[in-house]
Amino acid sequence: MLGGVPGGPALGRGPAPDGRYSRHEYDHPAAGWGAARSVARVLERAGEPPEGFRALFVMNHEDGGFDCPGCAWPDDPDGLHLDLCENGVKHVTWELAPAKADSGFFAAHTVTELAGWNDHDLEAVGRLAEPLSYNSATDKYEPISWQDAFALVGSTLQGLGSPHQASFYTSGRLSNEATFLYQLWVREFGTNNLPDCSNMCHEASGRALTAALGTGKGTVDLRDWEAADAIWVLGDNAASNAPRMLTWLAEADRRGAQLIHINPLIEAASRRTIVPHELADMATFRTTRVGTMSVQVRIGGDMALLRGVAKAVFEAAEKDPDVLDRDFIERYTRGIDSYRAVVEATPWSDLVEGSGVAEPDIRHLANSYMASERVIIAWCLGVTQHEHGVDTVREIVNLLLLRGNIGREGAGPCPVRGHSNVQGNRTCGIDHRPPAEFLDRLAEVCGFEPPREHGLGTVATIEAMRRGDIKVFVALGGNFALAAPDLVYTFEALRNCELTVQVSTKLNRSHLVHGRRALILPCLGRTDKDRQAGGEQGVTVEDAMSMVHISLGMKEPASPHLRSECAIIAGMAQATLPGSATPWQWYVEDYDRIRDTMARVLDGFEEFNTRARHPHGFRIRQLARDRVFQTPSGRAEFSPAPLPDDVDPGSRRLMLATIRSHDQFNTTIYSNDDRYRGLKGLRTVIFMNEGDMRDRGLEQFSLVDVRSFSKDGTERAVYGYRAVGYDLLPGCAAGYMPELNVLCGIADVSTQSEQPVTKHLVVEVTPSPPTGPAQ
């Protein structure tokens, strides 16, 4: 089977290309004046320029501010006045747009017409203004009252043969309070079908860290970043994915820390920066290093590289046993002998082949590791979105354990989360495989017996929708239709539902790929004031380093018809569960009541209301940081997993990783530019090693077709992309998501984490025939 995309709507794309595109080498510092000019242009174009400017001084402030709805990087613990970044400003001004997606707009456009728009133009319409219901007779969304919308959800769910015929998705933007109410509704309804965006990004991290350390989270905080002697960053382009990280890397360089970037692509974030709020540096164009060493690894080769470092450490320990932290290993770990045997039995030739890094370079990296007393290893999706993502994260932990780099200041594992509250979603109950202890507490406090069997994750939900086993799909935030793998398959699955419900702030592709009946329920954004019967409400979020703090909206809602996430969930729950003893409306009147219940259910949330209002909030205790490991053995576990054998795609084939551009946040695309990679005006590109291009007879911007090969033997393709030379190892390629999610088949899922392997796709790149695609 061939799933081709030879034309039609520009799925996932930014503004329509105007034919003017170019590529140049980007040799400027990351952030700096480039970011400042970008912010100025964003504010100038904003639908509400004064509000956009005011947001700069309110976002991420501990005194009555709102939390950035972008990435999950922590706020400055010392209260930096302008603790923001270029991408955060883009995200906020995008949300500040006026509510123009109203009944008049939808009366003028059919869904079929809107499906032909590109995704940038869909979101650029503005904020959603009122609840809408799809009318198949007119092929249009039409206004519906909130009461009738809730009644439709309730009656459809009540009419199912089983609660397991519905699935309830969560995006990482949902607040902790809404998250808790959402899972409470779903579990009281009777299912654990709670897929979330973690299933597509850091699921591997959570499973690996839980197995190794007894916690699904990293152990470090920003104070540790201030104390580290070395910081390694794997599989992450910090300048685009977590730009505020650059501040901390620059600070680390000033005190002499080693800054190691390990990535298939050499990115701007691995060289130099000018931190925009460092006014003296901005005035004098003084740059600071954010990288002291770059290690270019082949796609999927991180585990082999890390094991090579471990091999060098063990070899050094033969001469100097104190290279290993023997006291820590003996007191706190288990499995060192098995791990050491596996490492020593692995020949250097296998490590070099698997990583794409020469032995002297691996040894140089190992020497840096051994010379550093306190080491943090941070990573992002370049590590997790592979078949062997869990094993690779386990290997990160293995390396840290060898020298006691867990449970002390300035050291530890640090997953870099991509969405503002994705970690809080999991903490507060969004988990299709919930632990028994959480369900026991939920039953005791909330007075009902939750289901115990595991539910469906994201990919399993898509498959069940396609089979007809899932008939109702509810999504809280996000753009599921584009974020998922195998877009053609996912679209068919969503259209097979009896009812799809999207709770959203702006129009996106997921509203146009819908079930036989469909609802769009518009909600407040992070910047909107949330007024309920008990007064103005705040919500909390948890950042990537387990800090929880309160967020208060700064402006009047974009439309009087918007409701808060908590109010929408409560309305659907009341309609679904008319006999429920849960005081849904009472909760919505005052979110302190939700937090009081959460404090009784969730470990680490004691005195939640009080602590959330402290300046900077509070940190959820991480027992592994105190060297208390809640594993079955009570110790940190070494993993002797074998090296993967799937990093070589074979003759004439390449290993492709999907990536984000700098002018993009997840599936939201602000323009066709990618400043840090020197690309302007184009997104339909494949970045390739220049030698691989020559071997295929390609020049810069040659038209190419890209064909992927799935685990189940099926093939998919995109046509008419352009080859762009880039600093990549031979055999590696990259291109933008969500456009290239179409190449990831529904069977291309990690058996370790259930994640789509969108950074581990085997492809062939061939010149496009002059007559168009041959299917």
Calculate Rg over the CA atoms of the chain.
25
Residue 412 pLDDT exceeds 90: yes
Determine the average pLDDT of the residues in 696-703: 96
Residue 579 pLDDT exceeds 60: yes
Residue 39 pLDDT exceeds 80: no
356 vs 274: which has the higher pLDDT: 356
- The percentage of the chain sitting over the pLDDT mark of 70, rounded to a whole number, equals 91
* 162-196 confidence digits (pLDDT tens): 999 999 999 988 999 999 999 999 999 999 999 99
Per-residue pLDDT, 2: 39
Q: What angle do CA 673, 679, 683 make, to 5 degrees?
A: 60
456-465, 477-486, 577-586, 662-671: segment of lowest average pLDDT = 662-671
245 vs 398: which has the higher pLDDT: 398
* 417-456 confidence digits (pLDDT tens): 877 788 889 999 999 999 999 999 999 999 999 999 999 9
Residue 205 pLDDT exceeds 50: yes
* 545-562 confidence digits (pLDDT tens): 989 989 898 899 999 999
524 vs 645: which has the higher pLDDT: 524
* 247-269 confidence digits (pLDDT tens): 889 899 999 999 999 999 988 77
Q: For residue 678, what pLDDT band results from cuts at 50, 70 and 90?
A: confident
Q: For residue 3, what pLDDT band results from cuts at 50, 70 and 90?
A: very low
- Can you state the percent helix, strand and coil of the chain, rounding each to 5? 40, 20, 45
Using CA atoms, how far apart are residues 484 and 490, in angstroms rounded to an integer? 7
* 499-538 confidence digits (pLDDT tens): 999 999 999 999 999 999 999 999 999 889 999 999 999 9
377 vs 83: which has the higher pLDDT: 377
Q: What angle do CA 264, 268, 273 make, to 5 degrees?
A: 145
Nearest alpha carbon to residue 265 among 734, 738, 767, 756 = 734
Going by C-beta distance under 8 Å and a sequence separation of 6 or more, which residues neighbour residue 522?
99, 127, 128, 129, 130, 131, 503, 504, 505, 559, 561, 562, 563
Determine the average pLDDT of the residues in 670-674: 87
Q: For residue 8, what pLDDT band results from cuts at 50, 70 and 90?
A: very low
321-330, 425-434, 633-642, 659-668: segment of lowest average pLDDT = 659-668
Determine the average pLDDT of the residues in 146-159: 98
